[in-house]
Structure 1
Amino acid sequence: MPAAIAGVGIDLLRVERIEQALARHGDRFAQKVLGPEEFAKFVARRTRDPRRGVRFLATRFAAKEAFSKAVGLGMRMPMSWRRMQALNAPGGRPVVVLAEPLKTWYEARFGAAHVSLTDEHDMVAAYVVVETRRTP
């Protein structure tokens, strides 16, 4: 039996909002939002091209917002910015990676999570679909 959809979340964000937050708070903002692997990617991309770094941060911010909507938590425990990362599989596809205690909470309630990200020079969007948990 195919998995059913348990939740859907979407977030649309102006890149300028992230630029302003970075201007006000510097890397502290990025470190608050990004998990460790995401932060390393952000620094690498920003080093090559500052605009690319900002768009990376913006897409990850949007992914976390979309994920929190899909699971119905918003930004409240056990959800927090750094506990959900949108990383890339070897082929480039974005994947959801969760840290504790969000991981255990999520796995007790849901199946696979799928994330799609897109960016343009002034906007980014993230779409998350969460499947129902399969019972053995």
Structure 2
Amino acid sequence: MIVGVGIDVAEIDRFAAALERTPALAERLFVPAELLLPGGERRGVASLAARFAAKEALAKALGAPGGLLWRDAEVVAADNGRPSLRVRGTVAARADELGVRHWHVSLSHDAGVASAVVIAEG
């Protein structure tokens, strides 16, 4: 059963400008592992913008309640690159309230826009 669906888009240049303007922003939005590629290199801004969009889409799938913490949702990738979500704290508590048992995530970035879709399944 689908509990919720969320979608979000982020303009990549605007997101890059926000990161440049506020250097600590990346550390407030992402856990350390999200900032790096599997090989240890720093993740590009388009990829970070897509991960930010996923966190916004996740909040929408949960009904956009107040009090969710950015770093309580982590976008992780399987060995084959398929994205998924790891939730804890405030996000896990809300997901439990709604009966969410599985997440479906799709990320994309093209033509200056990053997007994400999150489906919460119970």
TM-score range, shorter chain: 0.7 to 0.9
Aligned twin of 2:41: 44
- How far does the alpha carbon of each residue in 1:4-25 deviate from its partner, in whole angstroms, 9 at most, with x for none? 1111000011101111101211
Paired with 1:73 and 1:54, the residues of 2 have a C-alpha distance of 25
Moved over 6 A (4+): none
Q: Which residue of 2 aligns with 1:105?
A: 94
Contact preservation (8 Å) 1:59, 1:124: yes
Residue deviations 1:80-111 (CA, integer Å, cap 9, x gap): 11110111011110011012243243234212
Give secondary structure in 1 for the equivalent of 2:36.
Answer: helix
Corresponding position of 2:52: 61
Deviations 1:31-77 (A, max 9, x none): 1111232123397234xxxxxx1011101110000000001125x22
Structure 2, unmatched stretches of 5+, are: none
Give the alignment's Cα RMSD to 1 decimal. 1.9
Distance 1:131 1:38 in 2: 23
Q: How has the CA–CA distance of structure 1 residues 121 and 44 changed in structure 2, closer, same or farther, with 3 Å as cutoff?
A: farther
Letter in structure 1 aligned against 2:117 = Y
Q: Alignment length, in residue pairs? A: 120
Quote the Cα distance in structure 1 between the aligned partners of 2:10 and 2:57: 11
In structure 1, stretches of 5+ residues that fail to align are 47-52
The TM-score normalised by the length of structure 1 is: 0.79
Percent sequence identity over aligned pairs:
35
Give me the TM-score of the superposition, normalised by structure 2.
0.87
Distance 2:34 2:3 in 1: 26
Which one of 9, 27, 33 corresponds to residue 29 of structure 2? 33
Q: Kindly name which structure, 1 or 2, has the bigger radius of gyration based on alpha carbons.
A: 1
- Tell me which moved more, 97-106 or 7-16: 97-106
Amino acid corresponding to residue 85 of structure 1 in structure 2: E
1:127 corresponding residue in structure 2: 117
Partner of 1:119: helix, strand, or coil?
strand
